[in-house]
Structure 1
């Protein structure tokens, strides 16, 4: 049976309609894809700006802490590790070799540190009332946590009652530093941050597992024996990013 011209025309029209529909669908999918890419790019930009603002403010915190310590003791060795958010004190400025108890000079250093922390850190927590010296952005950019970290070198610890190895020694040193800080400035223990109002100050010990320098010479080992104050920042809410950019000039 031979198809009529009308049937051929109908098939041709149906094929054209099919291809038109497929083209429309592909154009629609590409449009949706572009919209999604723009959305994720915008979210990434906001996140990136927020992260930059937090890192910028963290550097300011570290600098303020170092300057306060230097005012109290110009000879004190204080190191800032900016990319990791760390304020570093050599263990020799706080402890005798193999000991976890703060030396008399170490207790004084910890006292200076406690006063510096109490002057700077409350601005970046839920602490009220806010000090007039707090920066404008500190109301939005919060310190999520501040860890007092104990570190040792790789020299095996001989051990004594209550402390069996380098890991336990590092934890004990961090704990004793924390105790001294909070005895000098008791309010440090009560600083809270974030929507859940979690405590800011905490401790951790790593023994020789996180060396500042992987070498094993005497100078490198001295660098690895240390107390680090590691600051973790909470990213500000998205709606605060533009205000922070305006306050800090970050958008320029």
Structure 2
């Protein structure tokens, strides 16, 4: 009898152990499912924010194009890359980096349109530059005034100066915009993390020479050359805080 009793006791202990393990694994699985659902919701929200920012940028570009067309300035827009494009012929004489008189008039009109619309997409603007379009919940992170040239070498003193020419044109356009509308300097965006943020101007400038031809104009025809000599306004939208992505992975 004692031997039988001991065997039953061991069997009962084994059953209790397996029940405890089963409960623990069920609990862990439940926790895993909760975490998976949480991260799936966070990822979906982040994806929606990024998609919404791209949609807002496309609406911004279309609004700028519409207003400029009313000012007899026909510009091209690329909603996929966030670019508003001005052919160099409407701004500069051939081989020159300073704006023509007609170019200055067009830049002045461009500045007026920008200062009317961009406050709707920035974190900060002067009180005397209110939003005159539909206010957006999405924000511009940066606006680059980009200079581009074609790939044909432009020699000065025996060296190719295409990059210098494109940069000078971008800088001169940038300066003219700011001179015509000082309020553009007040358009700012927030940078940093949620805990530490500061306001910085959205306007910036860059020059690329012939290193970034427009899509579909990578060739060497006169049409390709004309398409690649340009000033681009490139709009970058603020995206979800990178720390949010990091926290999702930890």
TM-score > 0.5 by shorter chain:
yes
Q: 1:31 to 1:79 in 2, by over 3 A?
A: same
Deviates more, 1:48-57 or 1:86-95: 48-57
Contact 1:54 1:236 in 2 (8 A): no
* Offset, 1:236: 7.5
Distance (Å, rounded) in 2 between the aligned partners of 1:88 and 1:17: 74
* Offset, 1:141: 2.1
Distance (Å, rounded) in 2 between the aligned partners of 1:18 and 1:27: 14
- The aligned length equals 230
- For 2:48, the equivalent position in structure 1 comes to 49
Q: 1:197 aligns to what SS in structure 2?
A: strand
Contact 1:69 1:112 in 2 (8 A): yes
1:217 to 218, 221, 230: 221
Unpaired runs of at least 5, structure 1:
238-252
Contact 2:117 2:131 in 1 (8 A): no
* Offset, 1:228: 0.8
* Offset, 1:117: 0.7
Distance (Å, rounded) in 1 between the aligned partners of 2:168 and 2:223: 23
Q: If the length of structure 1 is used for normalisation, what is the TM-score?
A: 0.83
Per-residue Cα deviation, 1:180-239 (whole angstroms, up to 9, x for no partner): 1111111112321225111011111122222113223221222121111111122479xx
Deviates more, 1:106-115 or 1:187-196: 187-196
- For 1:245, the equivalent position in structure 2 comes to none
Contact 1:142 1:236 in 2 (8 A): no
Unpaired runs of at least 5, structure 2:
191-196, 242-250
- For 2:184, the equivalent position in structure 1 comes to 188
* Offset, 1:46: 1.3
Distance (Å, rounded) in 1 between the aligned partners of 2:229 and 2:18: 72
Distance (Å, rounded) in 1 between the aligned partners of 2:166 and 2:155: 14
Q: If the length of structure 2 is used for normalisation, what is the TM-score?
A: 0.83
Per-residue Cα deviation, 1:45-104 (whole angstroms, up to 9, x for no partner): 21122223222221221112111211111xx43111001111111122212232211122
Q: 1:166 to 1:132 in 2, by over 3 A?
A: closer
Distance (Å, rounded) in 1 between the aligned partners of 2:148 and 2:213: 8
Distance (Å, rounded) in 2 between the aligned partners of 1:38 and 1:193: 33
Q: 1:198 to 1:132 in 2, by over 3 A?
A: closer
Q: 1:157 to 1:89 in 2, by over 3 A?
A: same
Distance (Å, rounded) in 2 between the aligned partners of 1:143 and 1:60: 13
- For 1:231, the equivalent position in structure 2 comes to 235
